[in-house]
Amino acid sequence: MTTLDPTVEGALPETEAAGRGNHPPGTFRVCATTGLTVDLAAEKFIKINAVFAVVFLLLGGIAALLLALTRWSAVHLLNAEWYYRMTTFHGLNMLILWILFMEIGILYFAATALLKSRLASVKAGWAGFACMAVGAIMLDAVILAGKADVMMTSYVPLRAHPTFYLAIILVAVGTLIGVINFLATVYIAKRDKTYSGSVPLVVFGAITAAIIAVSTLLHGAGIMIPTFLWSIDVIDHVDPAAYRLVWWGLGHQSQQVNVAAMVSVWYLLGTLTVGAKVLNQGVSRTAFLLYILFINLASAHHLLVDPGVSAGWKIWNTSYAMYLAVLASMIHGYTVPAAVEVALRKQGHTKGLFGWLGAAPWKNPGFSGFFLSLLIFGFIGGITGVTLGTEQINIIAHNTLRIPGHFHATVVGGTSLAFMALAYYVVPLIFRREFPLRWMCRAQPYVFAAGIVLMSLGMSFAGSYGVSRRSWDVEASGALHPVSYDPSVHVWLGVLGIGGSLAFVGLLMFVVPTVLAVFFGKRVEAKMPAW
């Protein structure tokens, strides 16, 4: 565990009543477990963002279960109308709401606790949160009211109620305010010299995420504002090809925000769980830099089978740029487990090539969640992603179930699982509540990971036979010209259904102990109980 270096604080007084660094008196506490200074205003925002995130995770998770039980052709639960409605609802709640609320919490934590700074603006914090919360509630309401069955991508000229676009704009504006508040906090920390030298690696990763987020949100504004104006008949046309080009500057880059945030969480959890030390700061930071430089160009792989952009444009943008962003992930995929290995070997676990891995704290859900996230993201998400982003393979995979098979491994098995693992430390350290049902917490990452892996494989294999990603009825019954697949697709759709249901159980095993801990958990008075 880290200890405070008194020289950093210089001559400033050290007690909570007297203030510290740029914290006015009475606005911070010192964490008994980590020794970090926790800004009380930032702590409040971390809490409310985390609570909202978990609420949307649960809503999106219920939708996920219904969808899995509908795609499982032997069950086929929902009717067509509600299947498409729930697909829209699930995508936005999971990919936008759960993840964005969580990320704002992570940014506020990184800038205040790790840089020992106060939050730049409490007012901006509230303004951003209010925009996001109001937008999120509007968004869910308009979808459930049946006025926006347009999928998360809402490709024009398919049209939703104007409230839908307005709600997304509000969420984006709120997030942008949060991101700017984070960057302002990094600035005042530097100005007030609350830390010395370079920012810690986790903060560097968070800054990476924030920079990509600004670019992402500007793309979002660039396309959602004209689309909103079109939906209220102020402008009469939004070009569908231009929409796809700019929308994916939002849709794909937002996933890179997730990757940068997730990798930062890996480094953070490596430190918190086993005391991992970064091998080479320069290497890890350069890898983050590659994300910023190259990832937006790689958004082009969403347009590989589109009319309107040339083959040369597609190949140029998806080849060198995407692979340099992939290189970044390949580097983190080495440096993160290597840091864990070095730490465990130093603790005496030196037997054989993999003795350190066996000796790792697998009963600590903070560790198992983080390490499973690393494995699923790298091996399933990464390999499928690089494959699908190739021009020729994209022709056989575009809009089939192979696509969600890929991104459930990256965003759910990777990002969501890493964020869940983080929660096993956020609740005792920030909410200062003990987890009940600790056996359930210990098992949760395994159950959730197994479910997601099964579901992802079921999707990928069904998709490789051409099963469409957003189709209510794989048999196309009642269609003018019948469609039939290899019968084995039903086996894979069954695997999808079983995996999805198992993952939902894993999700409940996360939500139930977390909610119980936050609202009824035993107060953590001094150090958090070790996992």
Partner 1 sequence: MSIESPAKNWLHAPTGTERAWIGLALLWCIVLTLAMPYWHFKGKQNSTGEAYTVEPTRFADRVQQFVDSNKVGEVNGTPIAEPPPGGDAYLQAQMWRFYPVLQFKKGQTYRLHISSLDIQHGFAVLPINMNFQVLPGYDHVLTITPTMAGEFPILCNEFCGIGHHQMTGRIIVTE
Query: Nearest approach, Cβ of 173 to partner 1 (angstroms)?
Result: 27
CA dist., res. 183 & res. 370, Å (int): 26
Q: Which stretch binds partner 1 (CB under 8 A): 21-29, 266-274, 441-449, 495-503?
A: 266-274
- Rounded least distance, CB 506 to partner 1, Å: 27
The SS3 assignment for 466 reads coil
Nearest approach, Cβ of residue 338 and partner 1 (Å): 7
* Near partner 1 in 155-184, by CB under 8 A: 155-158
Q: Binding residue for partner 1 (CB under 8 A) from 280, 347, 350, 488?
A: 280
Nearer to partner 1, 27 or 399 (CB): 399
- Please pick, from the candidates 122, 124, 214, 323, the single residue that binds partner 1 as defined by CB under 8 A: 323
Query: Between the CA of residue 19 and those of 7, 39, 106, 186, 526, what are the distances in Å?
Result: 16, 11, 24, 19, 21
Q: How far is CA 171 from CA 47, 398, 503, in A?
A: 18, 29, 27
Minimum Å distance from CB 377 to partner 1? 16
Q: Which of residues 452-511 bind partner 1 (CB under 8 A)?
A: 464-466, 468-474, 476-486
Q: Which is nearer to partner 1, 55 or 152 (CB)?
A: 152
DSSP 310: -
Query: Around Cβ 383, how many Cβ atoms within 10 Å?
Result: 12
Look at phi and psi of residue 196 and say left if phi exceeds 0, alpha if psi is from -120 to 50, else beta: beta
Q: Which residue, 199 or 508, is less far from partner 1 as judged by CB?
A: 199
Contact call for residue 98 and partner 1 (CB under 8 A): no
Q: Among 119, 149, 364, 414, which residue interacts with partner 1 (rule: CB under 8 A)?
A: 149
CA distance 436 to 429: 15
Using the minimum distance from each CB to partner 1, give the nearer residue, 10 or 312.
312
Q: Residue written as tokens 């704290």?
A: 361
215: its two tokens: 């670019």
- The three-state DSSP-derived secondary structure of 200-250 is CHHHHHHHHHHHHHHHHHHHHHHHHHHHHHHHCCCCCCCCHHHHHHHHHHH
Closer Cβ to partner 1, 85 or 442, answer by number: 85
Q: How far is the CB of 522 from partner 1 (least distance, A)?
A: 26
Of 28, 165, 267, 377, the residue at the interface with partner 1 (CB under 8 A) is 267
The DSSP code for 23 is B
Q: Choose the binding region for partner 1 from 46-54, 148-156, 358-366, 518-526 (rule: CB under 8 A).
A: 148-156
DSSP characters for 293-326? HHHHHHGGGGGTT-SSS-HHHHHHHHTHHHHHHH
Q: Which of 18, 241, 293, 383 binds partner 1 (CB under 8 A)?
A: 241
Q: Between 402 and 441, how does the x/- string for binding to partner 1 read (CB under 8 A)?
A: ----------------------------------------
Q: Using the rule CB under 8 A, is 324 a contact of partner 1?
A: yes
Q: At what angle do helices 488-520 and 417-426 cross, to 10 degrees?
A: 10
Instruction: Tell which one of 270, 337, 428, 506 touches partner 1 (CB under 8 A).
Output: 270
Q: Residues 193-232 vs partner 1: string with x where CB under 8 A?
A: --xxxxxxxx------------------------------
Quote the CA–CA distance of 305 and 489 in Å, as a whole number.
Answer: 24
Amino acid identity of residue 160, one-letter, is A
Stretch that binds partner 1, among 99-107, 303-311, 376-384, 521-529 (CB under 8 A): 303-311
Span near partner 1 by CB under 8 A; candidates 44-52, 267-275, 442-450, 492-500 = 267-275
Tokens read off for 175:
């997030």
Instruction: State yes or no: cis peptide before 157, omega within 30 of 0.
Output: yes
Q: Would strands 28-30 and 37-39 be described as parallel, antiparallel, or unpaired? A: antiparallel
CA-based diameter of the chain, in Å? 81
Tell me whether residue 261 or residue 518 sits nearer to partner 1 (CB atom).
Answer: 261
